[in-house]
Amino acid sequence: MHQLRSVIFVSLLSAAVVQIVERHDLIIDTDPGADDVVALLLALASPDELNVLAITTVAGNVRLDKTSRNARLAREWAGREEVPVYAGASKPLVRTPIYAENMHGKEGLPGVAVHEPKVGMAKGNAVDYLIETLSKAAPHSITLAMLGPQTNMALALMQAPEITQGIKEIVVMGGAHFNGGNMSPVAEFNIYADPHAAQIVLASDVKLTYIPLDVTHKILTSEQRLKQIAGLNNQAGMLVCGILNEYVKADMAHYGLPGGPVHDASVIAYLLQPELFTGKQINVAIDSREGITFGQTLADWYDTLKQDKNVFWVKNGDAQGFFNLLTARLSRLK
């Protein structure tokens, strides 16, 4: 009997160990954007795993004033007004600014009403915040989720390259290889919007993970999945359904897909449940030359060039697992 009890205790202890999830000190750099807001709600509803230190905004899907407002709206909807929001770069490093109002609408949030949030922006600039925070951080302690153009981080690295010491990992929503691009046959929006910035981050030698269109176009909405979220009967569920029902229409029409992707939320899901995703370490380069390949991520999946493997490239994801996670976390919000 004593031996049986010991076996049971060890089994329970092992199960408990399996349940321990790594907690990230996290900065979210973002350009909200419909899918960005879903990502923010998912992150802010997951405080046990994600200690969100701050949200930094950048121009991208819409102009900076609107991305900054939308980030604060997401914060308000999540009931997390204590998380500071810092405004960052209003334009790319080199290229002419572009926006994605055709996908996200003029306000950057299709399908829902927007208003000026009660709590304002944090004082100071996002780039200065990144430099100060990462400079003072313990070695390799802070994770960054980069959901838009990488302009803020590139500017920070240009001014203070030593900040890499504080970075544990950068997880980027960006790039495309097997799937093809959404701005050109080879370029994805977040990279295309500022490829020079993406090159600087890539050259910094930090640990990088890319969540490209290759995987986000496999994690699609469906009538049943959105019905499951709507069935929560809370404000967060209704907001997400309103946003996604409108946002996914363009991609469904353009690609002939049965549902639409929720690109940026896949980054947060990867941090919460990495077991939902698979990929491998490969070499990635970014093309910033003017021409038809501008903004391309050259992902050497088969190691043809025998170059340094500088990015963990995610190729596949569990779509139902993603939506189960999203639904469960949204149920925690009002």
Q: Can you list the domains of the chain with their CATH numbers?
A: 24-330 (3.90.245.10)
- Average pLDDT per consecutive 10 residues, the chain (334 residues; last block may be shorter): 46 45 93 99 99 99 99 98 99 98 95 97 99 98 99 99 99 98 98 99 98 99 97 97 96 95 99 99 98 98 98 99 99 97
Tell me if residue 263 is catalytic. yes
DSSP structure string for 59-120: SSSS-HHHHHHHHHHHHHHTT-TTS-EEE--SS-SSSPP---HHHH-TTS-TTS-----SS-
Looking at residue 22, its pLDDT comes to 79
Residue-level pLDDT at 16: 41
Choosing from 104, 177, 217, 263, the catalytic residue is 263
Can you give the pLDDT at residue 307? 98
pLDDT recorded at residue 10: 41
Q: How far apart are CA 279 and CA 215, in angstroms?
A: 9
pLDDT of residue 6: 45
Report the pLDDT value the prediction gives residue 9, as an integer from 0 to 100. 43
C-alpha distance from residue 314 to each of 201, 232, 284, 287 (Å): 18, 30, 12, 20
Residue 21's pLDDT is: 67
- Concatenating the DSSP letter of every residue in 311-325 gives EEEEEEE-HHHHHHH
Q: Which two tokens stand for residue 169?
A: 């990992």
